[in-house]
Amino acid sequence: MANRSYTSRRELEEHSFHPAITLLVPIAAILLQALLPKPFPRLSILDLPLIVTIFFAVSRRSPIAGTLTGAVIGLLQDALTNQPIGVNGIAKAIIGYIAASIGIQVDVEALTTRLLMNFGFSILQSLILYLIDSRLLGLAGQHVLWIHELVRAAINTLVAIPIFFLLDASKRND
């Protein structure tokens, strides 16, 4: 008689990371995001904390963990920038939740999926940040340069792929 397993796909493919990786990678991304654009202004187009949020959210495949990861990374990013506290926290928490939810249903290890996810989440974050600034904070004169946001999404996607491959090496199956 064949044995049946009641283990879900999420439980089979859930990954964990060494605590040092879990802590140091997001902190490094946040610090690089805060410090690199000062001497190199063109690097302000990158959003390394977003890339790290997406990676950890889809790898863990837990919407709660993805939301918390995004919120913490976003809040720390806000603390080191001139954004009002909570703006990036809200945006990255939403991205973390959606990314983890997608990670449960879709093979997120495929290169095409990673490209589409990073590009889509970068555009979605731009939209969320615009809505927070214009609707919640009531900042007048907010507008989005969509061509710039498309270029930003493309560059972030190209940078994310090698980062994802490097971080894949740090995964532990539990």
171 found inside a domain: no
8 found inside a domain: no
133-174 residue pLDDT tens: 888 888 877 777 889 999 999 999 999 999 999 999 888 765
70 found inside a domain: yes
pLDDT of the residue at 138: 82
What kind and span of H or E run contains 149? helix 146-168
Confidence tier at 73 by pLDDT (50, 70, 90): very high
Write the DSSP assignment of 103-119 as a string of letters. HHHS-TTSHHHHHHHHH
131 found inside a domain: yes
* CATH number of the domain residue 93 falls in: 1.10.1760
Mean pLDDT calculated for residue range 112-119: 96
10 found inside a domain: no
172 found inside a domain: no
7 found inside a domain: no
The number of distinct structural domains making up the chain is 1
For 97, the domain range is 16-166
Q: Does the pLDDT of residue 64 top 50, yes or no? A: yes
pLDDT of the residue at 79: 93
